[in-house]
Amino acid sequence: MKLALGTAQFGLDYGIANTAGKVASGEVCRILQLARKHGIRTLDTAAAYGNSEKVLGKVGVGDFEVVTKVPPIPAGVGCISTWAKQSIEMSFKALKVDTLSALLLHRPMQLFDEGGEALYKAVQSLKSEGRVEKIGVSIYEPKELDTLLSHYHFDLVQAPFNLMDRRLLSSGWLDELNRRGVEVHARSVFLQGLLLMRPEDRPAYFRPWASQLALYDSWLAEENIDAVRASLAFACQQNDIQRVVVGVQSAPQLAELIASMPRTELTFPYALEVEDEGLINPARWIL
């Protein structure tokens, strides 16, 4: 199964379309049970996702491939190496696991700040010790890779990728990562839920892109395809993407995503691609 389960909602009120808040622990258990049943083996979490790691550790995730992320380096840290090791050990303890499928840097450009080399050596040492299978980075835009991969080696890159945000593909980096043997995980395939919202429910912030969103709505109607299936198909059809990270708030939502997994290939018009980061980069949204 190409789907991976994102867990930000387990520890935070996350996502533009999230109206239910954090997922209750009982529902987390039901979600994970359903994931197991359908062969979803990868969980994506982070120390920065509230208490998500602790929630996962409490319900038990030893049979999953767990990917977590080192938090951004806070200001005023003395020894970066000591801080990094302590932070990572806290993740192991919270998750109640001895090994991780992957450990990513949440703010990888900090590698070029003072102490960056020490941070890299700290995560690399865990791979050498066999406690972490892969090390990697979580990026916001592909151009970060221009600098990162000219100085460091990584096994995995997690990046945003969806019907409107195709920078990973158009930049040539998706092909290049495949050439280098780097695993790719796509996130934000629903653009934090924006691509699933009804036109009347979209916040006023998105009015400047009304024509682009209307084009998307019209295409869905013309093709008679629902937004969930379209969004999943776009990411899943990319052979160079190994995992598609999706977040859910309930087991029925996950069941819907599983049922919507594409069975035939779709054709996606180039006109749906957007370069304006005011729309495709949620970090810039003002809501």
Q: Give the pLDDT of residue 264.
A: 84
User: Taking Cα atoms as reference points, which of 198, 278, 265, 269 lies closest to residue 232?
Assistant: 265
Determine the longest span between alpha carbons in the chain, in angstroms.
58
Which runs of E-coded beta strand occur in 156-242? Answer: 156-160, 183-187
For residue 25, how far is the Cα from the chain centroid?
21
Q: What are 199's two structure tokens?
A: 């036109």
Residues 189, 231 contacting (CB under 8 angstroms): yes
Kindly tell me the sign of the dihedral angle through the C-alpha atoms of 166, 64, 109, 90: positive
Going along the chain from its start, the domains and CATH numbers come out as 3-284 (3.20.20.100)
| 160 contact partners, CB below 8 Å, separation of at least 6 | 140, 141, 167, 168, 186, 187, 188, 280, 281
Range with the poorest average pLDDT among 114-123, 166-175, 230-239: 114-123
Instruction: Indicate if the pLDDT at residue 121 is higher than 60.
Output: yes
Query: Strand locations in 200-275, DSSP E?
Result: 243-247
Tell me the C-alpha distance between 18 and 192, whole Å.
9
Write down the pTM of the prediction: 0.94
Given a cut of 70, whether residue 20 has pLDDT beyond it is no
Higher pLDDT, 20 or 285: 285
Mean pLDDT of 92-118: 94
Is pLDDT above 70 for 17? Answer: no
Q: Which has the closest alpha carbon to 209: 230, 192, 195, 193?
A: 195
Specify the pLDDT at position 114.
86
Task: Please give the share of the chain, as a percent, with pLDDT higher than 90.
Answer: 87
Per-residue confidence (pLDDT) for residue 18, from 0 to 100? 46
What's the mean per-residue pLDDT of the chain? 94
DSSP conformation class of 206: G
Q: Is the pLDDT at 115 greater than 90, yes or no?
A: no
Helix, strand or coil for residue 202? coil
| Residue 16 predicted with pLDDT over 60 | no
Query: Phi and psi of 206, rounded to 5°?
Result: -90, 5
The neighbouring-strand residues paired with 100 are 132
Rounded Cα distance, 134 and 99, in Å: 11
> Looking up tokens 């395939």, which residue turns up?
189
Is it the case that residue 277 has pLDDT exceeding 80? Answer: yes
Percentage of residues of the chain with pLDDT beyond 70: 98
Burial class (CB in 10 A: 0-12, 13-18, 19+), 37: exposed
pLDDT tops 50 at residue 156: yes
CB 193 within 8 A of CB 17: yes
- Tell me: the pLDDT tens digits for 171-228? 999 999 999 999 999 999 999 999 999 999 999 999 999 999 999 999 999 999 999 9
Return d(Cα 42, Cα 146) in angstroms, integer. Answer: 27
